[in-house]
C-alpha cells in the first residue's frame, strides 16, 4: 500500500507494504538467509510482471538508508542474526520466534525459522555434551598418567638400588659395562638385559675355564 496526498500525489510506500512484500518473499523462497536489497527489488519487479501488484517503488526504497523498505529489510536481517547467536539460546529462541511471528505474521515462515533454530539448539547442546564428556576423559587420562608416573618412579628407584648393588659387587673392569647399561636403561630397557646376559655368559665361560685350569693343576 502507499499513502496518497489529498491532491493525488504519491507520498510514500507504507511500512505495511514493505512487510507484505517481505512476507510474500519469505513464503515463496522459504529462505533463512539475509535478504539482499537488490533481490527484494527484483522480486517486486517479478510480481509486477505477473500483474500481482500494479506499482513498485524504486530500488532506492530498499537500498537507501532511512527509507522504509531498507529499515524493514534490516529489521528482518537483524532478527536472523539473533537466530545465529550461540549464547543464551533457550531465551533467545523464544524471543526470536515471538518477534518473527508478531512482525511478519507468516506461520509458514515461522515454522521454517522454528525448525532452523531448534536444530541449532540441538546441535549446540550436543556439542556441549561432547565437550563435557571430553573433559571427563581428559581428567581420567591425567589421573592415569599421574599413576603411571608414580609407578615409574618407584620402578626407577628399585632399579637404581639393584644397579648400585651390582656395581658395588663387580670388579672395576666391569663397571663401564654396567654404567653404560644403566645410562641407557630408560631409553632402551633391552640394553641392560642384553649387556647383563652377555656378562653372565662371559662369567660362566671364565668360571668354566678357571675350573678346568684348577682341575688340571690338581693332577
19 and 100 co-located in one domain? yes
pLDDT for 27 beyond 60: yes
pLDDT at 62: 94
pLDDT for 157 beyond 80: no
| Higher-scoring residue by pLDDT: 156, 95 | 156
- From the list 22, 13, 15, 35, the residue with the least C-alpha distance to 104 is 22
17 and 82 co-located in one domain? yes
Residue 3: strand pairing partners: 12
The C-alpha cell 539460546 sits at 89
pLDDT for 37 beyond 50: yes
Q: What is the mean pLDDT of residues 92-101?
A: 49
List C-alpha distances in Å: 210 to 147, 203, 206, 213.
49, 10, 6, 5
The number of distinct structural domains making up the chain is 2
Confidence band (pLDDT; 50, 70, 90) for 26?
Answer: confident
- Please list the alpha-helical segments (H only) found in the chain: 15-29, 37-49, 60-63, 68-83, 89-104, 107-168, 175-184, 190-218
- From the list 91, 80, 98, 101, the residue with the least C-alpha distance to 121 is 91
Percent of the chain with pLDDT over 90: 12
Confidence band (pLDDT; 50, 70, 90) for 4?
Answer: very low
Domain range for residue 175?
170-218
Q: What is the mean pLDDT of residues 55-77?
A: 90
Residue 13: strand pairing partners: 2
25 and 111 co-located in one domain? yes
The C-alpha cell 514493505 sits at 18
Instruction: Tell me the HSE value of 31 on the side-chain side, using a 13 A CA sphere.
Output: 15
117 and 183 co-located in one domain? no
pLDDT at 2: 47
Instruction: Tell me the HSE value of 140 on the side-chain side, using a 13 A CA sphere.
Output: 6
12 and 120 co-located in one domain? yes
Q: Mean pLDDT lowest for which of 64-68, 75-79, 175-179?
A: 175-179
> Is the CB of residue 201 less than 8 Å from the CB of residue 191?
no
Residue that finishes a domain, picked among 126, 155, 188: 126
Residue that finishes a domain, picked among 99, 126, 153: 126
- Asked if residue 155 belongs to a domain, the reply is no
pLDDT for 203 beyond 70: no
Amino acid at each position: 500500500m502507499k499513502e496518497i496526498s489529498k491532491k493525488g500525489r504519491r507520498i510514500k510506500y507504507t511500512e505495511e507494504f514493505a512487510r507484505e512484500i517481505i512476507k510474500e518473499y519469505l513464503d515463496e523462497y522459504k529462505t533463512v538467509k539475509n535478504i539482499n536489497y537488490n533481490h527484494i527489488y527484483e522480486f517486486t519487479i517479478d510480481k509486477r510482471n505477473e500483474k500481482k501488484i500494479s506499482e513498485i517503488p524504486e530500488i532506492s526504497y530498499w537500498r537507501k538508508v532511512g527509507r522504509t523498505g531498507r529499515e524493514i529489510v534490516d529489521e528482518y536481517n537483524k532478527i536472523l542474526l539473533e537466530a545465529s547467536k550461540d549464547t543464551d539460546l533457550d531465551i533467545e529462541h523464544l524471543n526470536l520466534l515471538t518477534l518473527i511471528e508478531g512482525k511478519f505474521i507468516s506461520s509458514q515462515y515461522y515454522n521454517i525459522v522454528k525448525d532452523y533454530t531448534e536444530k541449532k539448539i540441538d546441535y549446540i547442546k550436543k556439542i556441549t555434551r561432547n565437550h563435557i564428556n571430553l573433559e571427563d576423559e581428559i581428567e581420567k587420562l591425567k589421573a592415569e598418567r599421574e599413576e603411571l608416573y608414580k609407578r615409574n618412579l618407584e620402578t626407577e628407584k628399585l632399579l637404581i638400588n639393584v644397579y648400585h648393588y651390582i656395581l658395588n659387587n663387580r670388579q672395576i673392569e666391569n663397571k663401564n659395562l654396567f654404567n653404560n647399561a644403566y645410562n641407557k636403561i630408560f631409553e632402551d630397557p633391552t640394553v641392560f638385559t642384553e649387556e647383563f646376559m652377555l656378562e653372565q655368559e662371559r662369567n660362566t665361560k671364565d668360571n668354566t675355564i678357571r675350573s678346568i685350569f684348577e682341575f688340571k693343576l690338581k693332577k
